Structure 1
Amino acid sequence: MANARNLSTSSEPLNPKTFLSSIFDAAVAAADAKLTIRGHLPQKPKGRTVVVGAGKGAAQMAVAFEKAWDGPIDGLVITRYGYSAPTERIEIVESAHPVPDEAGLMGSRRLLEKVAGLTDDDLVVALICGGGSALLPSPAPGISLADEIAVNQALLASGAPIAAMNTIRKHISTIKGGRLAAVAWPAKVVSLVVSDIPGDNLALVASGPTVPDTGSRADALAAIAAYGMKFPDAVMAHINSRAATAPDPADEKFARNEVYLIASASVSLEAAAADSRRQGIEAVILSDALEGEAREVGSVHAAIAREVATRNRPFTKPVLILSGGETTVTLRAKGKGGRNSEFLLAFAIGIDGLNGINALAADTDGIDGSESNAGAFCDGSTVARMRAVGVDAKAMLAGNNAWTAFKAVGDLFVTGPTGTNVNDLRAILVR
Structure 2
Amino acid sequence: MITRSASLLKSLRQEAVALFRDAVAAANPEHAVAAALVERSATFEAVSRIILVAFGKAACPMARAAMPFVRGKLVTAIALTNHENVEPVDGVEVIAGGHPIPDQGSIAGAAAIERAVSRAQDGDLVLVLVSGGGSALLCAPPSGIELADKIALNEALIRSGADISEINAVRPIFSRLKGGQMARLAGKAKVLSLILSDVPGDNIATIASGPTARPRSSARRAREVLDKYGLWQNLPAALKCRLEQMNAMTDTPTDFDNVENIVIGSNAISLRAVVGKAETKFGSVVRASDWLEGDVLNAAAELHRIARAAAERNGPVAVVCGGETTVKVTGNGKGGRNQELALRFALLNELRPIDRPWVFLSGGTDGLDGPTNAAGGIVDAGSLDWMRQLGHDPVGSLENNDSYHALASSGDLLITGATGTNVADIQIMLMS
Q: Structure 1 length as normaliser, TM-score?
A: 0.92
Q: 1:330 aligns with which of 328, 336, 346?
A: 328
Task: Name the SS for the 1:383 alignment partner.
Answer: helix
Q: Does 1:37 align with 2:33?
A: yes
1:263-308 CA distance string (max 9 Å, x none): 0000100001111122345322222322101122012211222233
Task: Write the distance in 2 (CA, Å) between the matches of 1:335 and 1:323.
Answer: 27
Task: Write the distance in 2 (CA, Å) between the matches of 1:120 and 1:360.
Answer: 50
- Are residues 123 and 17 of structure 1, via their aligned partners in 2, closer, same or farther at CA, if it must alter by over 3 Å? same
Task: Write the distance in 2 (CA, Å) between the matches of 1:244 and 1:344.
Answer: 45
Aligned residues: 415
Letter in 2 for 1:15: S
Task: Name the SS for the 1:295 alignment partner.
Answer: helix
- Are residues 268 and 93 of structure 1, via their aligned partners in 2, closer, same or farther at CA, if it must alter by over 3 Å? same
Q: Report the counterpart of residue 7 of structure 1 in structure 2.
A: none
1:65-122 CA distance string (max 9 Å, x none): 1245463323101000020233112221111111110111011111110111321100
Q: Does 1:118 align with 2:120?
A: yes
1:15-49 CA distance string (max 9 Å, x none): 11210111011111111122211232241143111
Letter in 1 for 2:189: A
Task: Write the distance in 2 (CA, Å) between the matches of 1:246 and 1:238.
Answer: 14
Shift of 1:217: 1.1
CA contact (8 A) 1:308 1:430 kept: no
Q: Does 1:251 align with 2:254?
A: yes
CA contact (8 A) 1:294 1:327 kept: yes
Q: Report the counterpart of residue 266 of structure 1 in structure 2.
A: 268
- Are residues 12 and 395 of structure 1, via their aligned partners in 2, closer, same or farther at CA, if it must alter by over 3 Å? closer
CA contact (8 A) 2:52 2:78 kept: yes
Task: Write the distance in 2 (CA, Å) between the matches of 1:80 and 1:259.
Answer: 23
Task: Write the distance in 2 (CA, Å) between the matches of 1:76 and 1:332.
Answer: 38
Deviates more, 1:34-43 or 1:294-303: 34-43
Letter in 2 for 1:359: F
User: Whose helix proportion is higher, 1 or 2?
Assistant: 2
- Are residues 126 and 114 of structure 1, via their aligned partners in 2, closer, same or farther at CA, if it must alter by over 3 Å? same
Q: Report the counterpart of residue 337 of structure 2 in structure 1.
A: 339
- Residues 145-294 of structure 1 correspond to what in structure 2 (within 5 A)? 145-229=147-231, 230-242=234-246, 250-252=253-255, 254-294=256-296
- Are residues 233 and 301 of structure 1, via their aligned partners in 2, closer, same or farther at CA, if it must alter by over 3 Å? same
- Are residues 13 and 169 of structure 1, via their aligned partners in 2, closer, same or farther at CA, if it must alter by over 3 Å? closer
CA contact (8 A) 2:365 2:375 kept: yes
Q: Report the counterpart of residue 366 of structure 1 in structure 2.
A: 367
Q: Report the counterpart of residue 3 of structure 2 in structure 1.
A: none
CA contact (8 A) 2:205 2:213 kept: yes
Task: Write the distance in 1 (CA, Å) between the matches of 2:144 and 2:248.
Answer: 11
CA contact (8 A) 1:130 1:195 kept: yes
Deviates more, 1:109-118 or 1:271-280: 271-280
Long gaps (5+) in structure 1: 1-10
Task: Name the SS for the 1:191 alignment partner.
Answer: strand
Shift of 1:404: 1.0
CA contact (8 A) 1:166 1:207 kept: yes
Task: Name the SS for the 1:125 alignment partner.
Answer: strand
- Are residues 318 and 247 of structure 1, via their aligned partners in 2, closer, same or farther at CA, if it must alter by over 3 Å? farther
CA contact (8 A) 2:288 2:303 kept: no
Shift of 1:373: 0.6
CA contact (8 A) 2:12 2:358 kept: no
CA contact (8 A) 1:216 1:246 kept: no
Task: Write the distance in 1 (CA, Å) between the matches of 2:14 and 2:147.
Answer: 44
CA contact (8 A) 2:58 2:421 kept: yes
Q: Structure 2 length as normaliser, TM-score?
A: 0.92
Q: Report the counterpart of residue 295 of structure 1 in structure 2.
A: 297
- Residues 126-145 of structure 1 correspond to what in structure 2 (within 5 A)? 126-145=128-147
- Residues 343-354 of structure 1 correspond to what in structure 2 (within 5 A)? 343-352=341-350, 354=354
Letter in 2 for 1:201: N
Task: Write the distance in 2 (CA, Å) between the matches of 1:12 and 1:104.
Answer: 46
Task: Write the distance in 2 (CA, Å) between the matches of 1:213 and 1:278.
Answer: 43
Shift of 1:243: 7.1
Task: Write the distance in 1 (CA, Å) between the matches of 2:349 and 2:249.
Answer: 48
Hey, which bits of structure 1, 4+ residues long, moved more than 4 A?
A: 11-14, 243-248
Task: Name the SS for the 1:231 alignment partner.
Answer: coil
- Are residues 246 and 331 of structure 1, via their aligned partners in 2, closer, same or farther at CA, if it must alter by over 3 Å? farther
Task: Write the distance in 2 (CA, Å) between the matches of 1:12 and 1:306.
Answer: 19
1:164-213 CA distance string (max 9 Å, x none): 10110110111111111111111111100000001110111111122233
Task: Write the distance in 2 (CA, Å) between the matches of 1:13 and 1:101.
Answer: 43
CA contact (8 A) 1:323 1:427 kept: yes
Q: Report the counterpart of residue 58 of structure 2 in structure 1.
A: 57
